[in-house]
Amino acid sequence: MDRRRLLQLGALGALGGCGSNPYLENPETIKLQQENEKHQFETTGEVYNWKLALFVPLGFEIWGPGVQRFAENARILSRGQLNISVKGAGEIVPSMQIFDAVKDGDIEMGHAASYFWDGKDPNLRASVYYTSVPFGMTATGTYAWLNAGGGQELWDEMYAPFNLKPLPLGNTGVQAGGWFRKPIKTIEDLQGIKMRMPGLGGKVLTRAGGIAQTLPGQEIYLALESGRIDATEWIGPYHDFKRGFQAVAPYYYTGGWHEPGSVLELLINKKKWDALPQHLQYIINMACVEADRWMSLQWAKWDSEYYEKLKKDPKIHVADYPANIAKELKKFSDELKAEIRDSSDIAKRVHESYHGFQGLYQAYHNASELAFVRGRDA
């Protein structure tokens, strides 16, 4: 890679945190993209022009720019041999149809979260483990399981019958417990509560007597304002604040139990993946790693900044998620995960691999990082 291209990639990283939508709104970034588009590479092999469908709009903060960054990484590293056109939600396929569109080869790639697919097939029930598991591992532990504990191999095996190759691309970190119109103090306060919460967390809430709903981000505010729902979880302080949830649901609980380290998922059509030259497969992996890191660190930075905004607003009641409620919810979570474990052979192996690794990882995490934090903050 020549020095000019390295500088351009570095500039993309430096500009990534500016504004609410760095790729689409920052004039410097727009100019840089235009320069990139004009730059011609001397390719030495077949050129691959692929389409990638996003689950969210192209301008969705951090998520959209992060996937665009992945595509630009792949183009630069391949010297123009691999060109991935990123399209926002609904532009080429509806969000909830991404899995099937990639599987069937209508598009080469999609980007979403694996817990949206658990109802598609009995052999996909364990797909929820590849987004986040209630009371499970945070991002570091999850990535250690994926990369060093056999998690990726099981993910590949689970998705192979569906003609898909999955890779991690982005992590939101520990998500917040959510926004509530009224305070919650005991498990009884969740009885009958209508809450936007997808994935395994939503199923746990239902078992606790709540009514879980899956709503796209653009519908949440109006649903809260109208009383259609009583509470919502979303991502974290940055995205939540920008959506204005605090105006209609002022009780904010941090430290969510439901998604302690949510992995976002790159889906690749497996036949097209297998047909790629080995060096392009390697480039896609490396482009994922860099963009994943960028996205994760952006979330860490912006959530920290907006958490301070929330705490300083006298109209917002910020508190830790009640430990007594979380304790009760964990019982329902354990029951549900046991049912998933028993649903298929692949689910059993994913469950045992994940929780076996969590036990190993958590023991040392408690003795090292957690012990350090307790001592530091004593």
Domain spans of the chain, in order of start: 3-171+261-302, 178-258+313-343
- Is the pLDDT at 12 greater than 60? The verdict is no
Query: For residue 362, which phi and psi values (nearest 5 degrees)?
Result: -65, -35
pLDDT of amino acid 34:
58
How confident is the model at residue 226, as a pLDDT? Answer: 95
Q: What is the pTM of this model?
A: 0.87
Higher-scoring residue by pLDDT: 129, 26: 129
Query: Measured on CA atoms in the order 198, 200, 203, 204, is the torsion positive or negative?
Result: negative
pLDDT band with cut points at 50, 70 and 90 for residue 42: low
Nearest residue to 176 via CA among 299, 297, 334, 54 = 299
The pLDDT of 222-233, averaged and rounded, is 95
SS3 content of the chain, % helix, strand, coil (to 5): 55, 15, 30
Instruction: Give strand ranges (E) for the chain.
Output: 48-54, 82-87, 109-112, 164-171, 178-180, 194-196, 211-213, 231-232, 251-254, 263-269, 317-320
Quick one: which H or E segment has residue 157? helix 151-159
> Candidates 1.10.287.130, 3.90.1150.170, 3.40.50.300, 3.40.190.10; correct CATH number of 178-258+313-343?
3.40.190.10
State which amino acid sits at residue 181: R
Higher-confidence position of 44 and 355: 355
Proportion of the chain above pLDDT 70, given as a percent: 88
- Tell me what percent of the residues of the chain surpass a pLDDT of 90: 83
pLDDT, tens digit (0-9, with 9 covering 90-100), for 245-294:
999 999 999 989 999 999 999 999 999 999 999 999 999 999 999 999 99
Q: What is the pLDDT of residues 51-62, one digit of tens each?
A: 999 999 999 999
Residues 70-89: tens digit of each pLDDT: 999 999 999 999 999 999 99
**CA–centroid distance for 367 within its chain:** 28
**Structure tokens given for 97:** 């149809």
| pLDDT range class, residue 32, cuts 50, 70, 90 | very low
Which fold would CATH assign to domain 3-171+261-302? D-Maltodextrin-Binding Protein; domain 2 (3.40.190)
- The rounded radius of gyration (Å) of the Cα atoms in the chain is 21
Q: What mean pLDDT, rounded, does the chain reach?
A: 89
pLDDT of residue 218: 80
Residue carrying the six token digits 């009371």: 135
pLDDT confidence tier of residue 210, bands split at 50, 70 and 90: very high
* Tens digit of each residue's pLDDT (9 = 90 or more) over 145-171: 999 999 999 999 999 999 999 999 999
Question: Does residue 30 register a pLDDT over 80?
Answer: no
Q: Which amino acid is at 43?
A: T
Q: Above 60 in pLDDT, residue 6?
A: no
Backbone angles phi, psi at 30, to 5 degrees: -60, -45
Q: What is the pLDDT of residues 108-143, one digit of tens each?
A: 999 999 999 988 999 999 999 999 999 999 999 999
Q: What is the pLDDT of residues 291-316, one digit of tens each?
A: 999 999 999 999 999 999 999 999 99
Query: What's the confidence (pLDDT) of residue 4?
Result: 35
Two domains, one topology: 3-171+261-302 and 178-258+313-343: yes
- Comparing 169 with 17, the larger pLDDT belongs to 169
Closest by CA position to 146, among listed 284, 349, 353? 353
Burial class (CB in 10 A: 0-12, 13-18, 19+), 168: buried
